[in-house]
Amino acid sequence: MSIPTPIDNPLSDRVPSAPQSEAPAGLPDVATLARLANEFFSSIPGSATPAAASVGSGAGQSVSAALPFTAPVTSVASNPAPPGSPLAGPGGTGTGVPGATLPQGHVPGANLVPSSPLHVLSLGNRVPALAPHAIAHDTVPDSAQAVLPALEPRFGSAALGTEPVQVERPSAPGAFTSGYYFLNEGSQPAHVHRETLSPGQGVSPESFGLPGDDFLRSLSEERRGTAAQGGSDRTGAYYFAEDERNHASYARSAHPPFDINAIRRDFPILQERVNGRQLVWFDNAATTQKPQAVIDRLAYFYAHENSNIHRAAHAIAGRATDAYEGARETVRRFLNASSTEEIIFVRGTTEGINLVAKSWGAKNVGEGDEIIVSHLEHHANIVPWQQLVAEKGATLRVIPVDDSGQVKLDEYQRMLNGRTKIVSVTQVSNALGTVVPVQEIVAMAHRAGARALVDGAQSVSHMRVDVQSVDADFFVFSGHKIFGPTGIGAVYGKREVLEDMPPWEGGGNMIQDVTFERTVFQGPPSRFEAGTGNIADAVGLGAALDYVMRIGIENIGRYEHDLLAYATHLLRPVPGVRLIGTADDKASVLSFVLKGYQPEEVGRALNEEGIAVRSGHHCAQPILRRFGVEATVRPSLAFYNTCDEVDRFISVVRRLAGRR
């Protein structure tokens, strides 16, 4: 099937209409799909049975642009959402988006492909890829089951085909702007301006002007009940929720509905203007922006709690100590570590890897031993190990990647042997966005008798991390990659491993007793935190993690997954674009080169339009050279980005492509 001609102006409300009279080969006709949609909505608990659907072709009902599958998106004409259904708004009908209006001729619920009760998505001002793999078979009527095999999940290289993508952009500003907008049922208006939080208050559902946890908790209870009866509790094979343990954890949690407009209001820098245009921050793999809750928490610490910690008897020292150790507990909870004694504060991922190399490595690696990294690594996960092997007479070995940018596990298996001491790999590539199967890599390392370190700098903001499930001996990440301050990060280490490691710096909090003849060191984690730590920024990191946990990392992951799919399908057909990194599992990153331009030229052109991307080697030169380039343009997405911002970015790239 041919690719539709690119739209010259993606910000235009004029989009080409796809014929709706015939269904693609192998799929039911439109009328059948409409009937199945009605049956689906009828099956939702508490929903009234909608009227029989008719398929319209009038204004507001055309379908266009790019889904990664060929099933048509049908319009349900003259059929408002049934009272009590998830698509009903606060008044019982409508969009579920308070204040949203619909185009003339458009009806509530039209052009929506229903997924599971917890996964009806709308990104920006259109319905995106809609993740057909998110349809839970146990929630769909039997009569619809025959359609499901045609809606298999495809993403990465598997989804970069030539099928036309079908997307509708409602013409009314603000319509369908909230992914998961249907969870606003029975709520107060979602777009209430959030007052500045009291310091230390954190983010609550009320801060977003959204309902509390009762509604979501009832949905979670329903999902658990389905699973207990033998039904599947899975809603899709997402990279951020790969195992039953993660799904069970999600079912136990409850979060405010995901409202992109409310979230964007939490990040004041997104209102900045660059070159006269509103900022688009697509440089999230380099650093993420900070919500007001983090900014307020830092200000409150310096205004009310500023002191050194642990040793003083005065009240302010007690406040600072409580705040610092409270942040350590937040990190423990975020990673699901078994104890705060396994959490060490460092300046960031780079310092964390250096700590392990210079402490554990110096004691355990000797001449003839081997250290394994992957071809995907950031320089920070290469250089410390190179220094160690040079000092010890050891060998550094590299797991190769295939042409999509995924590691070759068969080659890795052949590398492992009795001389392997540690395997150190990234969980998500900062240059390509590849999601690496770290759980398998760690298990294979352990079977060979080696330790394992996982670099989570690029993963923690996109997917749930459970260090006990991954079973890595070390896990490291940086605060500024997950909406926290710069200059702070954490190392997780298994308690028994940390106990056997010598300190790598001396002085301050890491000592228990000192004489001129000997020094007795503290146990972990204090043994590895010499001197005055970055107390305020540790507290800020705790606030950032609290913010993420309140929104829900699974909610974030779902939204970003579809946003990345949407951007990929718009960018790939642009003449002269070559995507670098097309693995099936990806997160956040769209790395590319444009024929006729240096990456820096593309970056400058985007900056002129207020769009911030990274252009260069991204401190990952070996993997870029594997693909024959020295630098790429790297837009990288976060959960506060939108389809409208993607459109602005694509418009600039298309304009540049048209000039050469």
Residue type, 575: P
Of residues 324, 355, 362, the one with CA closest to residue 528:
355
Q: Torsions phi, psi of 354, nearest 5?
A: -60, -40
3-state secondary structure of 245: helix
Longest dimension (CA), the chain: 89
Cα separation values, 522 from 519, 526, 647, Å: 10, 6, 54
Q: How far is C-alpha 659 from the geometric centre of its chain's CA atoms?
A: 34
3-state secondary structure of 559: helix
The single residue of 619, 621, 622, 652 carrying the catalytic annotation is 619
3-state secondary structure of 647: helix
Distance CA 34, CA 302 (A): 59
**Catalytic (active site) residue 643:** no
Decide if 66 contacts 161 (C-beta within 8 A): no
Rg (CA), the chain: 26
- Cα dihedral value 367, 368, 369, 371, nearest 10: 100
Label residues 364-389 b or e (16+ Cβ within 10 Å = b): ebeeebbbbbbbbbbebbbbbbeebb
Q: Which residues contact residue 232 at a Cβ distance below 8 angstroms, ignoring those fewer than 6 apart?
A: 136, 137, 138, 226
Strands 395-399 and 370-374: parallel
Of residues 234, 252, 235, 452, the one with CA closest to residue 336:
252
- Hey, what are 531's tokens? 């001197």
β strands within 212-295, DSSP E? 273-274, 277-278, 280-281
Distance CA 315, CA 225 (A): 49
Residue type, 88: A
Cα distance from N-terminal residue to C-terminal residue, the chain: 27
3-state secondary structure of 556: helix
Decide if 330 contacts 540 (C-beta within 8 A): no
DSSP string spanning 587-618? Answer: -SB--EEETTS-HHHHHHHHHHTTEE-EEE-T
Query: Which residue do the tokens 């009279």 mark?
Result: 21
Find the DSSP H helices in 393-494. Answer: 409-415, 438-447, 467-470
- Hey, what are 130's tokens? 């809609």
- Hey, what are 43's tokens? 């099956």
Query: Which residue do the tokens 């997402």 mark?
Result: 238
Q: Provide the 10 A C-beta neighbour count for residue 552.
A: 20
Q: How far is C-alpha 428 from the geometric centre of its chain's CA atoms?
A: 11
Decide if 169 contacts 177 (C-beta within 8 A): no
Q: Which residues does the annotation mark as catalytic?
A: 619
